Amino acid sequence: MGYRSEQSGTSGKTTRILSTMALAVLVAAVTIGAAAAGTPAPTKRAPAKTDSAQAAARAEQHVVQGMTYIKMKDFDNAIIEFTRAIDLMPNYAVAYANRGVAYIQQQKLNKASDDLRKAVELDPGDKSIHYNLTALYCLQGAKDRAFDSLDKALELGFNNYDALRNDPDLEGIRNEAEFRKVLEKHKVFIR
């Protein structure tokens, strides 16, 4: 099938860490100040990851494992892994999108719809989510929604023309005049 699954890290979020030298100066200043005041100096500890950074890392691991299950066509375990990622990070669009794709593979279209809609709510600029909504709407017979999602996917830069030509889930719209109209609007010409 022509579904697009994605992996995504927490890129774009930067963590500011004091340099080793700046940290050493800060510890020395606190120690000297504490000694002068007659209070014990704090013990030196390695900086720990924040809880949210740990949760994000674990969630990403679950998505990676879920993708492995998707490739093996083990959709039940893929759904479990994507759900674990969502439990750790409730706003993780990629986890919702990939769980939606797994639900499509299982023909659980209502659950797929819930997840893909949540994913697009969280990340409206993701072209793959809109393409997967196109496929879902085709399977549901909702052609008008399929055309709207296809239009949005193309607007966002979706360019997997082989999927547009060959994805069996698009059979319900591929021969429609509106399909050609949406493609032509975006200067996409396929045979």
Q: What is the CATH number of the domain that holds 100?
A: 1.25.40.10
Residues shown for the chain: 191
Residue linked to tokens 């109209």: 181
Out of 108, 124, 140, pick the residue that ends a domain. Answer: 124
Amino acid type, 97? A
Rounded Cα gap, residues 113 and 104, in angstroms: 9
Distances (CA, A) of 187 to 54, 149, 154, 157, 181: 44, 17, 10, 11, 10
Do 137 and 83 lie in one domain? The reply is: no
The residue segments making up the domain with residue 69 are: 51-124
Residue 9 has pLDDT above 80, yes or no: no
Residues 113 and 135 in one domain: no
132 and 120 belong to one structural domain: no
pTM over 0.85: no
Residue 3 has pLDDT above 90, yes or no: no
Domain boundary pick from 74, 98, 124: 124
The pLDDT tens digits for 115-153 are 999 999 999 999 999 999 999 999 999 999 999 999 999
CA–CA gap between residue 172 and residue 183 (Å, rounded):
15
Structural domain count, the chain: 2
pLDDT beyond 70 at 4: no
Of 154, 141, 143, 153, give the one whose Cα is nearest residue 184. 154
Amino acid 23: pLDDT:
29
Does some domain include residue 175?
yes
Residue 47 · residue 24 · CB < 8 Å: no
Domain boundary among 124, 139, 154: 124
Cβ pair 188, 156 in contact under 8 A: no
What is the per-residue pLDDT for 49? 59
pLDDT digits (tens, 9 = 90+) for 66-94: 999 999 999 999 999 999 999 999 999 99
Residues 30-73 pLDDT 10s: 333 333 344 343 344 444 458 899 999 999 999 999 999 999 99
Same domain, yes or no: 71 and 131: no
CA torsion through residues 103, 163, 127, 178, sign = negative
pLDDT digits (tens, 9 = 90+) for 151-187: 999 999 999 999 999 999 999 999 999 999 999 999 9
3-state helix, strand, coil in the chain (%, to 5): 70, 0, 30
Residue 36 confidence (pLDDT) = 39
Structure tokens at 152: 């949005």
